[in-house]
Structure 1
């Protein structure tokens, strides 16, 4: 039986009150109450548990309980199609190419090719790009060369793997083309920390050694921030909705130059990305997050050097000791991954850690 407007408003208000720990009136704005993008995932999950079908975009578009109730209780038949003009996930994904139909694209990018000693390998974060680190690696690499691993699909239409283990195996082959044997030096910011962890685990399994495995604002594998039941379409829709909200555009096609410049400024997008690839990049993001969220880790017998935000320090799910034999943890008061990467104190500690390996 379909829920009526009052029932929908009651469900939404109760969920918001529980998650935001505040009283909610029917005309209260979700974001004004302290809501944020990742919390929307919890709202959608809880609503579905109570029989209310909604999407992340519904909350971004209709920001109050009353507006949500009006939208979700309105008859679907004959409703005007006044939503965002962005192409749907299937349309974008179909422009991609199976690995059976295209040559594998390289994932290894020289960040600083010159140098001496064992190279430092840095891994892409959630948006799949890594080239922005070229401006940051000098603060910690010493005299070593530095390379980045970027996600498949960044500069081609090759579809990326939907498995983090498969993704890591692909990157490891490219790493070995530069450095056939260990010990290795890895730095993984944000989502890249889990990739670095899985590669280190695979190397350990084959008898190789990782001298430094540094993760930067990375939650340990096995913890999740999104709904595991979400598929690629829902992740893609969530991504587009969050971008529309952040950059205050009705869709990614409107004021696209400003939107893309804004994404470059916060390192979510590389310079010189073809505007025609903007939605494809978001589909690649969805694939990467899907792989992250469904990764089932195995234990690692080596050490993980953890650079964490102070706001996460007391969270039990942030404990890397659950998956690694040894951890060395450093805590910083930073506003996010990029500010942490730019923090002089962080760079000093990481540089010292990398320099401790004499190779």
Structure 2
């Protein structure tokens, strides 16, 4: 039986009160109460447990219990819902090509190919891009060359793998075109830390050694802040809703130039991305997050050098010792991954760590 308006208001209010630890009135704004994008995942999960079909976009578009109840009640009655004009996931994904339909695109990107000695390999973060690191690698690479691995689909319509293990295997094949044998030097910011970890684990199985495996603001594999039950469509919708809220546009085609410029400024997009690829890039993001969320890690016998934010230091879930034989941890007061990558103190420690491997 469908929930009536008052029941929806009650369910939403109770969930917000539990998650935010505040009293909630019918017309209270979720974000004004202290809500944030990742907490919406918990709201959606809890709502569905209580029989209320809610999406992340519903909360971004209708930010109070009363507005949510009105919108969901109207939708249940068959009214035309107000919403963004962005293309749905299926429409975007269908524009992609399977590996049977296209030649594999290179994922290896020269960031600073000049230099001598063992190269440093850097891995893309959650948005799939890595080229922004070209402006940062000089702060820690020393005299070594540096290369990046970006996600499949960044500059082509090749569909990316939905398995982190498969993704890592492909990157490893390309790494070996530059450096056939170890020891290897890896740097993985954010989601790239898990990719670097899996590649290091595969190399260990093959009898190779990773001399430096540095992860930067990366939660250990096996932890999650999203709902692993979500599929690609829900992850894609969550991403679009997050962007609409961040840039205060009703849909991503409104004031698209400002939107894309803002995403370049925070390194979520590379320069010269075709505006026609904006939604495709978000579908690629969804594929990458799906692969991360469904990755089941295996133990790694080497050392992981962890660069973490102070806000995560006391979280048991942030302990890399659960998956690695040894860890070396450095903690920084920083606002996020990009500010940490730009921090001279971080660069100095990472440079020293890389320099400790004499080749």
Fold conserved between structures, TM > 0.5: yes
> Offset of 1:81 from its aligned partner?
4.5
Aligned length: 359
Alpha-carbon separation, structure 2, partners of 1:252 and 1:119:
39
Provide Cα deviations, 1:11-51, integer angstroms capped at 9, x if missing partner: 11111111111111111111111111000000000000111
Alpha-carbon separation, structure 2, partners of 1:31 and 1:82:
20
Q: Find runs of 4+ consecutive structure 1 residues off by over 6 angstroms.
A: none
Alpha-carbon separation, structure 2, partners of 1:105 and 1:77:
47
Alpha-carbon separation, structure 2, partners of 1:36 and 1:138:
35
User: What TM-score results when the alignment is normalised by the length of structure 1?
Assistant: 0.99
Residue 24 in 1 paired to residue 24 in 2? yes
Q: Quick check: 2:193–2:216 contact (8 Å CA) kept in 1?
A: yes
Alpha-carbon separation, structure 2, partners of 1:230 and 1:101:
27
Q: 1:45 to 1:346 in 2, by over 3 A?
A: same
> Offset of 1:78 from its aligned partner?
4.1
Task: State the SS of the aligned residue for 2:213.
Answer: strand
Residue 276 in 1 paired to residue 313 in 2? no
Alpha-carbon separation, structure 1, partners of 2:214 and 2:35:
31
Provide Cα deviations, 1:283-328, integer angstroms capped at 9, x if missing partner: 0000000000000000000000000000001111000000000000
Residue ranges of structure 2 left out of the alignment (5+ in a row):
none
Alpha-carbon separation, structure 2, partners of 1:172 and 1:40:
35
Residue 341 in 1 paired to residue 341 in 2? yes
Indicate the RMSD between aligned Cα atoms, in angstroms. 0.7
Q: Quick check: 2:129–2:268 contact (8 Å CA) kept in 1?
A: yes
Provide Cα deviations, 1:42-77, integer angstroms capped at 9, x if missing partner: 000000011111000000000011111111122435
Q: 1:106 to 1:6 in 2, by over 3 A?
A: same
Alpha-carbon separation, structure 1, partners of 2:111 and 2:234:
34
Q: 1:75 to 1:93 in 2, by over 3 A?
A: closer
Counterpart position of 1:317? 317
Counterpart position of 1:247? 247
Provide Cα deviations, 1:95-131, integer angstroms capped at 9, x if missing partner: 0000011000000000001001000000000000000
Q: Quick check: 2:186–2:196 contact (8 Å CA) kept in 1?
A: yes
> Offset of 1:231 from its aligned partner?
0.2
Further displaced range: 10-19 or 321-330: 10-19
Residue ranges of structure 1 left out of the alignment (5+ in a row):
none
Q: Quick check: 2:61–2:83 contact (8 Å CA) kept in 1?
A: no
Provide Cα deviations, 1:189-247, integer angstroms capped at 9, x if missing partner: 00000000000000000000000000000000000110011000000000000000000
User: What TM-score results when the alignment is normalised by the length of structure 2?
Assistant: 0.99
